[in-house]
């Protein structure tokens, strides 16, 4: 089981779902951790991208 490197929150326990997107590879789910870090999850692959708290993985602040 993986955890958030910033606050230790378990990745299996989704804090907040930001948005979901259907892709040909499956479903991509953007989630936000308890510390504010954005995560990109892909069905079957888990967390594939993780942003730093307060920064995010996209350019929207």
The reply on whether position 33 binds Zn ion by CB under 5 A is yes
Instruction: Please state the closest distance from residue 20 (CB atom) to Zn ion, in A.
Output: 20
Query: Is 7 among the residues that bind Zn ion (CB under 5 A)?
Result: yes
Taking the C-alpha atoms of residue 50 and residue 53, their distance in angstroms, rounded to an integer, is 9
Closest to Zn ion by CB, 32 vs 42, is 32
9 CB-near residues (< 8 Å, 6+ apart): 3, 15, 33, 34, 35
Q: Which residues bind Zn ion (CB under 5 A)?
A: 4, 6-7, 9, 33, 35, 37
């Amino acid at each position: 089981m993986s955890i958030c490197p910033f606050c230790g929150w378990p990745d299996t326990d989704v804090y907040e779902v930001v948005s979901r997107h259907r892709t040909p590879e499956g479903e991509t789910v953007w989630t936000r951790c308890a510390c504010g870090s954005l995560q990109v999850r892909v069905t079957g692959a888990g967390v594939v991208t993780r942003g730093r708290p307060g920064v995010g993985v996209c350019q929207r602040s």
